[in-house]
Amino acid sequence: MPKSPPPPSAWTNRRAPDRPFDPPPERARLIEEAPVSRVTLWNGSTAWLVARHADQVALLRDRRISADDTRPSYPAVSAAEDATRDHNRTFISMDEPEHTARRRKFMGEFTERRLVALRPRIERIVDGLLDAMAEAGPPADLVAAFAMAVPVKVICELLGVPYEDREFFQEANAVVVDTRSTPEAALDASRALTEYLGGLVERKLHAPGDDLLSRLAVDYLAVGRTTREECAREARLLLAAGQETTTSMIALGTCVLLLHPDQMAVVRDGNREQVGAAVEELLRYLSVTHLGRRRVAVADITLHGHVIKAGDAVICANDLANRDPEAYEDPDRLDVRRSRTRRHLTFGHGPHQCLGQHLARLELQVAYPALFRRFPGLRPDRPLSELSFITEKFVYGLQELPVDW
């Protein structure tokens, strides 16, 4: 017999002050106590929250679950996202076959094999930023001087977006991804970004370069296979995704490794395989994409005795899945020597798995060891309890990370 629906609890992003790297305790307990439960969202609507790793893997590959954010019960993360979703709609919020048809334009650009050729350029970017930090001398804010600058420089070069315009697009994107933004502010910022990137793609029709947006302009826009509006939306998605998550991972990963000097030494002194494994563990442990994969059921699904009905909202909480004791031994412990961590769900799972995951991995594999080798005496300049963490944006992170060396 199906179970009666449990009473909903309030969705929360609030982490324990003394455990800022762990999921919110009110949600973390659900892994053991209620792996399928209901939560009340910001607008009073409810969603099914799925906590366990195996259940999320199954659901994220299930055709009975839709990523289409135009469905009436889609669980938007905020009023700002709700107001801008029509304006910002891209392939990540589409179902098959439309999803793959549109995503295919970019798949060749982000393959692991193709991105290996980018490693020397990323190394030069990282080394240049570390040179600038060394020249300026301590103390420094690692977020501004390094964690933010690395992915922004990389994604700007990859896309062909002028780096000197970073202040504009970073400020505008910050408004779009902040769950506290008003719908009006988020929509204005989104329109400004779309207009900027649409104009940039259009200019590349007449003066293309060796970059992704030029190839999009020449191969798709010029021959009528896409529109200026669609190009601008996709460019905005790639520009935002290419900086937000990696910025947070560099900053948070550095912070947590400085608190675990023995594990930091593995990252600093290890070979590429060891560093790669450490990066996967940090991705699992930190789970910076902390608001879950948002979906809508399109058919009834029975899970742990509960019936998720067609039309119900579903949230696959990847931060909880990454701490599931059925998937990982002692999951709340950071262990950069841990094996099989690439099963984590930080990049999602199934057909909507993150397109840029290989680029993010490569940047982290270069950035962490280079930072610790350049500054072997690197240390926090402020206790953990005094750091300000970002909880109200789509990506969890640090406002700043003062360091000395």
Tally of CB atoms within 10 A around 9: 16
pLDDT one-digit tens code per residue, 386-401: 999 999 999 999 999 9
Q: What tens digit of pLDDT does each residue of 111-134 get? A: 888 888 899 999 999 999 999 999
- pTM of this structure: 0.95
Checking if the pLDDT of 18 tops 60, the result is yes
- Does residue 3 surpass a pLDDT of 80? no
Q: pLDDT > 90: what percent of the chain?
A: 92
Q: What is the mean pLDDT of residues 104-117?
A: 89
Residue 49, strand partner residues: 37, 315
**Terminal C-alpha separation, the chain:** 62
88 closest CA partner among 213, 296, 238, 225: 238
Assign domain 9-404 to its CATH architecture. Answer: Orthogonal Bundle (1.10)
Is residue 1 pLDDT above 60, yes or no?
no
pLDDT at 42: 95
Q: What percent of the chain has pLDDT over 70?
A: 98
Query: Sign of the CA dihedral 323, 327, 331, 335?
Result: negative
Query: Does the pLDDT value for residue 2 go beyond 80?
Result: no
Buried b (16+ CB within 10 A) or exposed e, 220-245: bbeeeebebebbbbbbbbbbbbbbbb
The per-residue pLDDT for range 59-97, each reduced to its tens digit, is 999 999 999 999 999 999 999 999 998 888 999 999 999
